[in-house]
Structure 1
């Protein structure tokens, strides 16, 4: 009896040491398991401003995530080959759970909006803010974990979080019928709801960016009103700092500057030396951060990405030459002569202006075309 008692005490001591050392029990990482409504970003070393940290398999694209909690245990991923293989495995897992997840837990009948992964290797489930509690996450984790076990994966690592969504869903393009995510669905037909359900199972289109730095933190935005209010605050910061950013634009160090939905964006000329880029990034973030603090905003979210200038004049000349190939020799000669005359007049105007920045009519060559809709205005303003 004493021997059995000794073994039990030894086992309990071992478990206590293991728990205190790893913070893990029964496959759940309790160091990350915080209050569901806390809105804490648990990984302080990773900013939620850089959207490239996440890759989505299906659902809607999120404009900033807030981690709720994490389950399971990450595998050891030391090489790029291991990471790529693990990402492929998680994508295969997402295909296995897509239908059962969508039928019960996914928007519009449920709270799940996005399924994906992150750079650390977690399988990611994102909710819209609202009716999310621990029993719901436990239930979804069991669904994912059971499918993972069928693939010989134990303690599948899953991150649960809130996404930020502002998206218009096309229901009927010919009739001009659209639905904004999160709006009341009472007036939608069964056919409309079915369209939304099918769209939620598609892979979202994510813009490609060359992000070189990301600062600050996107706050937890609970509904569309909070998202719009936050966007207005960022717009006010951008407007108040525009005059201080203009000199960087005139020197062609900065290509674009302005507000996206949940963060500010500064486009750096990628042809600059690395040391100069780093200096500019630090200077500009300090300018933005100081103004944000004056407006009672701390940790203002800003991304710095890279782009190149595309000379519009050169592009137009190339297009004109391609068009001229289809013209007759006589028409071609006339067009070329007119082009030379116009170029000569343009050169005279540029040289007489005395303003070096007005000589160059350029547009930024960035991949984030959706962001440029609001950002190009800042560039044009800076070049006037």
Structure 2
């Protein structure tokens, strides 16, 4: 029995995954000399899908001459963007196998050639800041990553000092084999490809659904599914109407849906969107479709939302009716009435909620009644101002009683606003000439619509660039309604 337990313990120990630098040490090196190290990986008995390392070295003592990819992943491998040496003491590399059949892996991940700089004698370490191995299900493998030492000059290396070690999927360094492991996991650098939108710089995974597909046809089906979803999600789920800013896939075999982080997606929303994706996938005979939901911030989106926040907050520093005060900086001589209260907006989510959710719903719900006024020429246009209030332009030549007209129009707008949870919707009524409106507002509407359409096409053709049009123009494109 004792022998059996001992054999089992030895078997389990040998099955533990590991990453190590070989050889464990170099000694007696002089300035100008070169030396090489291998980063070796052993996944034990587990199948290996992906590996990622962040290696640290003393850039004052050593210079990287060359980095060569090893033979750990033999066929069809993706190298993570940004892999390489930063010249400042950090080497980052990520690999992911493209094949759907994964096997245990043992071999060299990368080989590195260093040159010793003209520096003082000493003992230097080459160790891991991060190290991650993933199995076929994209789960972390358990094990350790062990560094090496380099001795420059006639210095004795104390062999009793253990090599610097960290746990796989951890950023916590260990100085002895008895140290406890860390639970701070690091996502591997997988390859991401987008057909709509782009990858946020601070992207992080929220949740994964489904099971990675093994069929060879999955990559083609996935691309077809992505394109179908862009069409289906447009107008409700894609930004700015929705919270989704990117759709694509990653090298781990997941379809990827990215949300704009400040809009704070919840589990119910992810479940709903996954249901739509799963339904479309089942129409293609794909069951349990693998989907990764992630989130992140995008500077272009934030800048434009912040611009709108600043505009509405500047308006809030004054009263809406100041637009009619000829001593106010807001004074506009063509304004004949104001009603309601401007919303208090402090966050990007509140800004998005007002400009692209509530205002859109109000405009949509009142469209039938407002169209009657537009068609008979009483109103010239309605729209949402970038300053946060609705504008209604009344035909100055109309025979209708303007005071009664304003009361009736506001009653319609405020009723629809109340239905979406907004009280005292802010509205500014102006007088305008039909000739001016035809040339001015119509061209503005066409310009905004063209910009939105052109930018959307550009986004699909060039992910990550030019995806989001100016929100002010896009707001006009969504909300502007003109006499036709």
Which TM-score applies when normalising by structure 2?
Answer: 0.34
Structure with more relative contact order (C-alpha pairs < 8 Å, separation 6 or more): 1
Higher fraction of strand: 2
Which TM-score applies when normalising by structure 1?
Answer: 0.41
Greater C-alpha Rg: 2
Higher fraction of helix: 1
